[in-house]
Amino acid sequence: MAKTDVTGKFLTAELIAREALYVLENTRVFTNIVNSNYSGEFAGVGETVNVRIPTSFVGKEFVGQVSRQTVKEKYVPVKLDKIADVSFEVSSKDLTLEVPQFSEQLLAPAVRALNNKIDADIANTAFELTTKSVTGTTKIDDIAKVANYLENKKAPQEGRYLVLSPDHRYTYTLTDNLSKVAYAGTSEALRDALLGRIYTLNTLMSNNLPYSLAETAGTATSYKVKRHSADGYLVISDLNAATATIAVGDGFVYDGVAYRFTESKTGSNSAITKIGYEGAKEFPVANDAEAAVDVKVMPKYLSLGLHRDAVTFATRPLDAPVGGADYYIAQGENFSIRVVMDYDSATKKNQVSLDVLYGVAGLHDELLAKITGNTSA
Query: Per residue in 345-359, pLDDT tens?
Result: 888 888 999 999 999
Residue 160 neighbours by CB distance under 10 Å? 23
Give yes or no for residue 179 having a pLDDT over 70.
Answer: no
- Look at 14-23, 63-72, 149-158 and tell me which has the smallest mean pLDDT: 63-72
**Given the DSSP bridges, would you call strands 311-316 and 35-38 parallel, antiparallel or unpaired?**
parallel
Give yes or no for residue 295 having a pLDDT over 90.
Answer: yes
In the chain, the percentage of residues whose pLDDT exceeds 70 is: 86
DSSP β-bridge partners for residue 123:
none
| pLDDT digit string, tens, across residues 276-290 | 999 999 999 887 677
Q: What are phi and psi of 254, to 5 degrees?
A: -140, 125
Output the pLDDT for position 148.
92
Q: What are phi and psi of 5, to 5 degrees?
A: -130, -170
Output the pLDDT for position 137.
61
| pLDDT digit string, tens, across residues 141-161 | 888 899 999 999 999 989 999
The count of C-alpha atoms lying within 13 angstroms of the C-alpha of 361, restricted to the half-sphere facing its C-beta, is 19
With b meaning 16 or more CB within 10 Å and e meaning fewer, what string describes 58-89? eeeeeeeeeeeeeeeeeebebebebebebeee
pLDDT tier, 253 (very low <50, low <70, confident <90, very high otherwise) = very high
pLDDT tier, 243 (very low <50, low <70, confident <90, very high otherwise) = very high
Residue (of 304, 297, 296, 133) closest to 219 by Cα position:
297
**Given the DSSP bridges, would you call strands 245-246 and 265-266 parallel, antiparallel or unpaired?**
antiparallel
At 121, which amino acid appears? D
The model's pTM: 0.87
| pLDDT digit string, tens, across residues 95-128 | 888 999 999 999 999 999 999 999 999 999 999 9
**Given the DSSP bridges, would you call strands 251-254 and 257-261 parallel, antiparallel or unpaired?**
antiparallel
**How far is 351 from 342, CA to CA, in rounded Å?**
5
Residue (of 127, 122, 146) closest to 135 by Cα position:
146
> Virtual CA dihedral for 249, 130, 120, 282, nearest 10 degrees?
-60
Q: What are phi and psi of 295, to 5 degrees?
A: -130, 165
CA distances from 330 to 1, 19, 83, 84 (A): 16, 9, 16, 15
Q: What one-character DSSP code corresponds to residue 68?
A: P
**How far is 151 from 15, CA to CA, in rounded Å?**
45
| pLDDT digit string, tens, across residues 44-54 | 889 999 888 77
